[in-house]
Amino acid sequence: MSEKRNIRDHKRRLLAAKYELRRKLYKAFCKDPDLPSDMRDKHRYKLSKLPRNSSFARVRNRCIFTGRPRSVYEFFRISRIVFRGLASRGPLMGIKKSSW
């Protein structure tokens, strides 16, 4: 199940990267108060016709092992639970469990 979520999220990332420039351009035209309102409406319509998954707001950081969406360390791309297990066993380079 986690593999399916990660694949879906990866597709969203690719789509968001593909439409990023176009989306920013349409948003800039929509927000520009100097343009006539009919032109702004035309660009707002074009923005609404872009794929829904092309928005970066729909991209979610997920754990590459479990697919967990919350408490994911962005540097390692793994969740805190998996990170703790890997740090205890030692396969993460430069990371060791602290004790004092």
19, 83 contact by CB (below 8 A) = no
Q: Which residues contact 56 (CB under 8 A, 6 or more apart)?
A: 16, 20
| Single-letter code of the amino acid located at 50 | L
Delimit the domains of the chain by residue range. 1-60, 62-94
Q: Using CA atoms, how far apart are residues 70 and 7, in angstroms rounded to an integer?
A: 17
Tens-digit pLDDT profile for the chain (100 aa)? 668 888 998 999 999 999 999 999 999 999 888 889 899 999 999 999 999 999 999 988 999 888 899 999 988 889 999 998 888 887 888 887 777 7
Q: pTM of whole model > 0.85?
A: no
| Single-letter code of the amino acid located at 1 | M
Token pair 């380079």 in the structure block, residue: 93
Q: What are 4's two structure tokens? A: 């399916």
Q: 1-60: what fold?
A: Helix Hairpins (1.10.287)
